[in-house]
Amino acid sequence: MVYAAVLANIAGNFPALAAALERLERLKEEGYRIDRYYILGNLVGLFPYPREVVNTLRSLLKNNRVKVIRGELDQFIAASDPHGEGPDYIDRLNLEPYIKASLKHTWEELGHDGREFIRDTQIYLVDRIGKNEVFGVYGSPLNPFEGRVLPEQPSSYYEALMRPIKDYEMLLVASPRYPVNAMTRYGRVVCPGSIGLPPGKAHRATFALVDTETLHTKFIEVEYDKKLVEDRVKNEGLPEDLVRILYHGRT
184 domain residue, yes or no: no
Domains in the chain, number: 1
Residues 35 and 33: their CA atoms lie apart, in Å, by 6
What is the overall mean pLDDT for the chain?
A: 96
Q: What is the pLDDT of residues 69-111, one digit of tens each?
A: 999 999 999 999 888 879 999 999 999 999 999 999 999 999 9
- Residue 140: inside a domain: no
Mean of pLDDT values over 29-58: 97
The model's pLDDT over 172-181, given as tens digits with 9 standing for 90+, comes to 999 999 999 9
Residue 158, in any domain of the structure? no
Q: Which secondary structure element, helix H or strand E, spans residue 61, and what is its range?
A: helix 50-63
Tell me the mean pLDDT in the region 176-194: 97
Predicted structure pTM score? 0.96
Range of the domain at 42: 2-124+191-248
Classify residue 89 by its DSSP letter: G
CA atoms within 13 A on the CB side of 224: 29
CA 107 – CA 90 distance, rounded (Å): 10
Residue 215 resides in a domain: yes
Q: In the structure, what pLDDT confidence band is assigned to residue 33 with cuts at 50, 70 and 90?
A: very high
Q: How far apart are CA 190 and CA 154, in angstroms?
A: 14
Percentage of the chain modeled with pLDDT above 70: 100
Asked if the model's pLDDT at residue 206 lies above 90, the reply is yes
First to last CA, the chain: 41
In a domain, 129, yes or no: no
Strand partners, 217: 210
DSSP 8-state secondary structure symbol assigned to residue 134: E
> How large is the average pLDDT for residues 169-198?
97
Distances (CA, A) of 35 to 24, 204, 246: 11, 24, 31
The CATH number given to whatever domain includes residue 21 is 3.60.21.10
pLDDT at 82: 85
